[in-house]
Amino acid sequence: MRGAGSGMVTRKGQVMSFGEWSSFFQGELGAAAALAGLLFVSISVNQAKILELGRMADRGLEALAILFLIIVITSLPLVPGQPPRLLGAEILALGMMALIATVFLQRSYMRHVEEPYRRGSLAMVVVNRLAVAVVALAGLTLLWRGDAVGLYLLPAGILLSFFAASASAWVLLVEINR
């Protein structure tokens, strides 16, 4: 990535402008930060209940980790002069670290989920892993191709991450009190 208005020639000779992505990344960065703030509020409001339920705090940490991943990966493309392959390597590495952390946290809290809640929790586990895996795949594609094609995978990973974090926030704010 060369700068806000520069482009890169793809293998097929087309010019893809990275500058066109800056508004998207700025918007997603703001949205991720806002969601992280809301998640902190939901955890604060129900802190005693969350801690009382054992590993439920791990679910909040997982959601925060996913949102932090989005905050970082939407900040990196805004750095002027960032080469696409370096950006891809950074996103891939961060995505893989987040995926490992997510799996670790999920294994921890899923052992303690009661049977009536297991199916819903398992569905969220799949969505969370998929969201982070799509982000890592976007990084791999950027690293491999060296052009902006990998950026087109990021919106799916980011939106899945927002859905996953919002669902966790809902559980920690509302469902926990049912």
- pLDDT, one tens digit per residue, over 66-83 is 999 999 999 999 998 888
Residue 80 lies in a domain: yes
Q: Is residue 4 part of a domain?
A: no
Instruction: For residue range 45-60, list pLDDT tens digits in order.
Output: 888 888 887 777 888 8
Q: Are 135 and 91 in contact (CB under 8 A)?
A: yes
**Domain annotation covers residue 138:** yes
Task: Give how many domains the chain has, as a whole number.
Answer: 1
In a domain, 7, yes or no: no
pTM summary value: 0.85
Position with higher pLDDT, 169 vs 140: 140
Query: What is the predicted pLDDT for the residue at 8?
Result: 52
What is the CB neighbour count within 10 angstroms for residue 57? 16
Nearest CA-CA partner of 57 in 132, 139, 20, 112: 112
CA proximity to 169, closest of 79, 62, 23, 77: 62
Average pLDDT, the chain: 86
Question: Residue 113 falls within a domain, yes or no?
Answer: yes
- Per residue in 12-40, pLDDT (tens digit) is 555 556 678 899 999 999 999 999 998 88
Task: Look at residues 135, 133, 31, 134 and name the one whose alpha carbon lies nearest to residue 73.
Answer: 135
Is residue 71 one of the residues assigned to a domain? yes
What is the extent of the structural domain holding 171?
19-177
